[in-house]
Structure formats: structure tokens, C-alpha cells
Amino acid sequence: MACALCIQTLALALISLSFLNITIGDPRTSLVAQWCNHTLAANGAILADNFVPAMDNLSSHVNANGYGTSITGVNPNAVCALAQCYGDLSSIDCKLCFSEIRSQLPKCYPDTGGTLFLDGCFGRYENYTFFDEIFSRNDTTICSFSNNNSNPNIFGQTVKEAVGNVSLQAQNKHGFAVGSASNFNSTVYVLAQCWENLNSSLCSSCLHTAASAILSCSPATEGRALYAGCFLRYSTKLFWNVNQASSSSSGTSKTIWIIVGLLVGAIVLILLGLLIAKRRGLWGRKKQASLKDLYGLEMAAAISQSNLNFKYEDLRKATNNFKLSNKLGQGSYGTVYKGVLSDGKEVAVKQLFLNTRQWIEQFFNEVDLVNKVRHKNLVKLLGCSLDGSESLLVYEYYKNRSLDQFIFDESHDKLLDWQQRFDIIQGVAEGLSYLHDESDTRIIHRDIKASNILLDDKLKPKITDFGLARSFAQDQTHLTTGIAGTLGYLAPEYIVHGHLTEKADVYSFGVLVLEIVTGKRCSSPVGSHAEHSLLAKVWNQYKANTLDNVIDNRIYNKNVRDEIIQVILIGLQCTQADSHSRPTMSRVVELLRSNRSGDDEELVLLDPPFLDVSPMEALEGESSRLISADMSVSRLSAR
């Protein structure tokens, strides 16, 4: 989990801080303004190489001192960076605020510079040393729209007094001060902050200018002055953290209570964080670094230079902000939404569950790989997005949805005839054969099932969710939930020993063929219903020479009966318990073709398919443990 690390850090920080008797306040990570220096980097890749270490370096300074500068690389692709937490932030608040800077600043990439003002901290990078700059073209004031109209003159005087007083104090107090002024019944609170590297004369001129500028905000209840060298804010609300001052009062019992409170708070936070991270809720969205930041800019540069790049914002709009009514379904690795791009093109957008750094790394390699894999029976990947808070994949959209909705449909209105079913079987076989043998990289799908076969408007099959499986192999919880969902399709050697070869796909394909022909869902071969599994039923009818009984009577027809029986035999051969007895997918394609052309090739089935109940009983315990206890498949191979 992406958050696990930050939660751990947070927890450690909280616990260590609790002994220093520092409380947690408000990191004030809300965005005030961000702008980018609209100059493209001389070399985006080199800039990216320098950006990540620059941020790492900055991070260590800021975490230690609440302030830092760093210089990485040489011109014209140098990265000079500065970050400053405002003086009232505790060190944990500063960490939180800076982490937001870190995740937002890369939005300016591949521009040579970017500036970001949050309410609790400031960050900037350029390709030159700007550390002594106190003014820039973009210096500005931001005023709120709500006016304090009851007595504008008096209010204005109060603002002037407070701002003047506090900015003067800041110049004499290491660049930071807070304070307030009251007139009658209105109070104005002010915070002034210069960047720590500035000497007092530079700080003084920056705040002096900022203070005169901010007065134009009155009678607004809220005003902010954003300067290259300082930040000034006033408000009628008390907005800074007073905790540090108030909690420093003495008394052992109070200290103990604070420590206990902090520990409890930390635990609650951790639990809450885990809970929310699990649900991928608000916390993750607000505080979690963007993928681009997590991964680093290198891959970001590669992807954004490729034609695979989509903007998160565009996809968010395309899917109506991932609205429930746009949801197409729940895929193995994420939720799929229908989207309409601004040019009217329909796409399927998959919002992935996992966002860990290690995983992202593999994910982008995978995107690259999957992009190279092109076949008429494979769903085309159009691209991905990595500039948002979650990873998105963009696929071609198919109106007809997935095969399971056709063959298992009770309401018969989506009925496919035999010809259409045969074409689907053949198309899936060709797609899989391509993945196994013809693509540059050998890809085992691992998750062939009816819901992973999409149908285009001509009912041609498109296999989806391929390639990704490799990335998820590391993620054991995911693997097990994947297994739990599609147990009936899984080859025995894969369930029991975790042996994964192309023959596992052949097995799943065989099950799929039997489903298509019978119109019945496979059920798990494991457990008390093993002997009633689809495979067992078909095998028993085969032995009794009554295979006609299993054919979906919606497609049964004397003219095609022999052809259907041949296809069932292919399905049975693909589901042989011994993986060596199963044909390869390219062989299956040949068999299907010869079946069509009428060259009768005799299929002889010696062994029954995978339905031997006695070894299954031993397996049953294993499998249910496998699913319930989140164990990895490979750990079972010891047996």
C-alpha cells in the first residue's frame, strides 16, 4: 500500500515527537497558488534525472530544519530547489506539508521551473540559483471575496496595524512572526514568513512590499501576499497553530496525558489511515503523493513522450468524475468506467486498485510491453495516465461487453448461434496462441474466463486483462483473491503447486470452450460439488457416448451437431489433469481449423479431465486455506 510507508513514518514521527512533547496541529496543505516557468527544459530526461535527487536532498533538509535548499546537476539542466515550512508548523506538520509540495511540484515538469504556495509551506525549483530573489514577475496578492462590511474603515485600520506590526516583528525574529490586533470587536490575525536564507535586509524589503500590497485586500476578511522571498497572510480567523506554545506549560501529569493522548492518537490515526487507504478514500487522495512523484520523473518522461500518455484530468472529465453510472464493471485489477474523450471517442478507463511504488515500476514496464502486443483478438491498450493520484489504463471500448453476459444470459435476448460461438472460440484460441508463441514476449494470461472476453460490435472476441497479471504476481493478496474468484478455471498444477506455464491458460481455455458450448457456468472443481462440476458432467456424458445431452439446446441443430461434438472434445483435451496431455494453443488453432474444413482428425481422450475426487479432497483443505488465509500459491508448493 502506498500509504503504509507514510503511515509508518507518521507513526514513528508521532511516537518520537510525543516524548518531545510536541503536539500535532494543522499542516495547512491547501493550495494557494502554483505556477510553472513556461520554459521547456533543454533536455527533459536529464532534468528528470536531476529532479528526483534534488527533491530527496531537499526533503532531508526540510525534515531536519523546516527549511532547505539544494542544487543538483549542471546547467542548463540543473535543478535548484528551495522549500520553507512556516514557523508555526510542528516538525510533523512540516513533513506533511512538504510531502504535498513534493507531489505537486512535478506537475510543472518538463518546464525548467515551478513555484508552489500552500497555506503552510512554500516550494520552488528553477534551473538557476534563485535563492536570493525576493521579487518575481508573478508576485501577487490573493484576497477573499467575503467583506467585513460592518465598519470598513475601522477594519482597515486594524488590518494595517496588525500587518505592519507582525511583518516588522518577523524581520527581527529570524524571518517569522505571528500576531494579532483588535479594534472594538474585530480581531485580525497575521502570519509573516521570509525564507530562511534571506538576510534581514532582503527579508525586510520583501515583507515591506508584501505588507503594502496586502492592505489592498481590506475589507476582505482574508488576504495573502505571495512573493518570491516571503509570504504574508491576514485573516479574521485564528489560522495558525498555537499548540506548541500552549502545550509547553509545565506539570508532569499534563505531560503524561499528552504523551498518552498522542500515542492513542497515533494508533487511531494508523488504524484510520489503514482503513481509508484500504478504501482509497479522501486521505489517500489528498495527502498521497502522485504516481509521478512516487515513481520518479524518469518513467514519467518516457511515457509522456510516448503516444501512450493521457492526462488524468481529461480522463476524469471523460468518465464524469468516475461516476457510478459510467461503471462498466469490476475487472480483476480495478474498476472499469466508460469514458467519452473530448473528441467524442469512446474508451474504457480502468482505475487500478494498487498504487505501490514497486508495483508502479512494474506497471509501466508492463504498459510498454502490452502496448507492443497487438492482435485482432486482444483488446487494444490506448494508454495510461500517471499524473493523477491513481493509475489509470485506457482501453478501446466495446459496446457489447463481455461474453459471460451472452452465454449465461437467462433472458435469451443476447443469444449467440453456433456459428457465432465457434468464431468466438476460434478467435480466443488465436489470441492466446499469439500471446504464447508469436508475440516477442511470452505472455501467460493466467485469468482466461468468460468475463475477460469482450465482444466488439461484430461479436468478434477480444481478450482483455492480459499482461497485467505478470505485474501482480508479486502481490500475493491479489493473487489469492484472483484465485478465489475464478477457481473453476484454474489448472490443478497452478492451484496446488503454483506451477505456471502456458498450459494453465490452455486449461482455462478448455473450461471456457465447455461453457460456451453448454451455456452453463463452470463451478469450482474443488469441494463437495466436485463431482457435479461442469467438467465432470461433460466427461461422464462423453464416456456414456451421450454428449448430445450437454450441448446448449438453444444452439442444438443436426447440421452442426458433429462440429459441436468435435469442439467439446477439444475442450476436454485442453482440461486434462496432466498438463503434458494438453495441446498447445497453436495446436488448438490447427484442430479448430481442420474441424472446420472437415478433415476429420480423430481425437482420442485417454485420461479423464481434472476431476479425480480423491486427490481433490486433500487439495480442498489446502485450497480453502489458500483462499481464506491469504497464503501465496508458492508457499503451498512445499507439499
Ligand X SMILES: *[C@@H]1O[C@H](CO)[C@@H](O)[C@H](O)[C@H]1NC(C)=O
CB of 222 to ligand X, least distance (A): 9
Q: Are 58 and 116 in contact (CB under 8 A)?
A: no
Tell me whether residue 68 or residue 525 sits nearer to ligand X (CB atom): 68
∠ at Cα 111 (110, 113), nearest 5°? 130
| Closest separation in Å from C-beta 142 to ligand X | 10
C-beta separation of 235 from 166 below 8 A? no
The answer to whether 595 contacts ligand X (rule: CB under 6 A) is: no
> Residue 196: what residue type?
E
Query: Applying CB under 6 A, which of residues 65, 132, 281, 419 lies at the interface with ligand X?
Result: 132
Q: Does 480 bind ligand X (CB under 6 A)?
A: no
* Of residues 233-292, those binding ligand X (CB under 6 A): 236
Site string for ligand X, 66-105 (x = CB under 6 A): ----xx---xx-----------------------------
**Binding residue (CB under 6 A) for ligand X from 148, 433, 452, 486:** 148
- Cα three-residue angle 45-46-51, rounded to 5 degrees: 100
Residue selected from 38, 412, 458, 639 as contacting ligand X according to rule CB under 6 A: 38
Binding site as annotated, residues: 350
- How far CA 481 is from CA of 464, 631, 632, in Å, comes to 18, 10, 10
Choose the binding region for ligand X from 145-153, 207-215, 298-306, 356-364 (rule: CB under 6 A).
Answer: 145-153
Q: Per rule CB under 6 A, is residue 127 in the interface with ligand X?
A: yes
Q: Which string of DSSP letters, residue by residue, matches 555-580?
A: T--TTTHHHHHHHHHHHHHHTBSSGG
Among the residue ranges 134-142, 289-297, 368-376, 456-464, the one whose residues contact ligand X (CB under 6 A): 134-142
Q: DSSP assignment, residue 147?
A: B
Q: Of these, 8, 30, 65, 201, which contacts ligand X (CB under 6 A)?
A: 201
Residue 145 in the binding site for ligand X (CB under 6 A): no
Give the active site residue among 49, 111, 447, 552.
447
404 is a catalytic site residue: no
Site for ligand X in 355-374 (CB under 6 A): none
Contact, 170 vs 176, CB < 8 A?
yes
C-beta of residue 40 within 8 angstroms of C-beta of residue 111: yes
Facing residues of 402 across strands? Answer: 454
Which triple of cell numbers denotes residue 333? 485489477
The amino acid occupying position 440 is D
| 186 lines the binding site for ligand X (CB under 6 A) | yes
Is residue 600 within the footprint of ligand X (CB under 6 A)? no
Total Cβ atoms within 10 A of residue 5: 12
**Cα–Cα distance, 368 to 308 (Å, whole number):** 9
Check residue 128 for interaction with ligand X (CB under 6 A): yes
CB nearer ligand X, residue 228 or residue 384 = 228
Q: How far is the CB of 31 from ligand X (least distance, A)?
A: 13
Residue 165 interacting with ligand X (CB under 6 A): yes
- Contact pick of 16, 39, 248, 546 for ligand X (by CB under 6 A): 39
Nearest CB to ligand X, comparing residues 61 and 520: 61
Choosing from 155, 239, 333, 507, the residue that interacts with ligand X (CB under 6 A) is 155
Instruction: Among 19, 184, 257, 556, indicate the residue that binds ligand X (CB under 6 A).
Output: 184
Measured from the CB atom, the residue of 230 and 585 that comes closer to ligand X is 230
**Minimum separation from the CB atom of position 5 to ligand X (A):** 18
State which of residues 88, 93, 119, 126 lies at the interface with ligand X (CB under 6 A). 126
Question: Residue 266 is which amino acid?
Answer: A
Which candidate, 485, 110, 484, 122, places its Cα nearest to that of 298?
Answer: 110
Kindly state the smallest distance separating residue 67's Cβ from ligand X, in Å: 14
> For residues 219 and 273, which CB has a smaller minimum distance to ligand X in the complex?
219
Q: Give buried/exposed letters for 389-417 (b at 16+ CB in 10 A, else e).
A: bbbbbbbbbbebebbbebbeeeeeeeebe
- Which stretch, 183-191, 302-310, 353-361, 382-390, contacts ligand X (CB under 6 A)? 183-191
Q: Which residues define the annotated binding site for ATP?
A: 350
Closest CA to 403 of 574, 564, 521: 521
Q: Which residues make beta-bridge pairs with 179?
A: 190
Cα separation values, 181 from 188, 190, 195, 226, 240, Å: 5, 9, 24, 22, 15
To ligand X, the closest distance from the beta carbon of 128 in angstroms equals 4
3-state SS string over 236-302? Answer: CCCCCCCHHHHCCCCCHHHHHHHHHHHHHHHHHHHHHHHHHHHHCCHHHHHHCCCHHHHHCHHHHHH
Kind plus residue range of the DSSP H or E element containing 335: strand 334-340
- The nearer residue to ligand X, 304 or 385, going by C-beta atoms, is 304
| Cα(229)–Cα(123) distance, integer angstroms | 11
Nearer to ligand X, 205 or 452 (CB): 205
Using the rule CB under 6 A, which residue among 23, 29, 37, 91 binds ligand X? 37
Nearer to ligand X, 134 or 336 (CB): 134
Q: Which of 3-11, 197-205, 568-576, 613-621 is the region at the interface with ligand X (rule: CB under 6 A)?
A: 197-205
Residues in a beta bridge with 182: 187
Please identify, using beta-carbon distances, which residue of 137 and 458 lies nearer to ligand X.
137
DSSP 480-493: HHHHHHTGGGS-HH
Q: Which three cell numbers stand for residue 130?
A: 534563485
Could you count the other beta carbons within 10 Å of the beta carbon of residue 185?
Answer: 8
The residue from 221, 402, 420, 433 that contacts ligand X (CB under 6 A) is 221
Q: Which residue from 13, 177, 181, 297 is in contact with ligand X, where contact means CB under 6 A? A: 181
Asked if 141 touches ligand X (CB under 6 A), the answer is: no
Work out how close the CB of 35 gets to ligand X at its nearest, in angstroms, rounded to a whole number: 4
Q: Which is nearer to ligand X, 159 or 443 (CB)?
A: 159
CA of residue 271 relative to chain centroid, distance = 21
How many residues lie near ligand X (CB under 6 A)?
37
Say how many C-beta atoms besides its own lie within 10 A of residue 168's C-beta: 17
In the set 5, 12, 31, 42, which binds ligand X (CB under 6 A)?
Answer: 42
Distance between CA atoms of residues 535 and 529, nearest Å: 11
28: left (phi over 0), alpha (psi -120 to 50) or beta: left
- Distance, in Å, from the CA atom of 518 to the CA atom of 511, rounded to the nearest integer, reads 11
Side-chain-side CA neighbours of 86 within 13 Å: the count stands at: 28
Chain residues that interact with ligand X, rule: CB under 6 A = 35, 37-39, 41-42, 57, 60, 70-71, 75-76, 112-113, 126-128, 132, 136-138, 148, 150-151, 154-155, 161, 165, 181, 184-186, 199, 201-202, 221, 236
The residues that are catalytic are 447
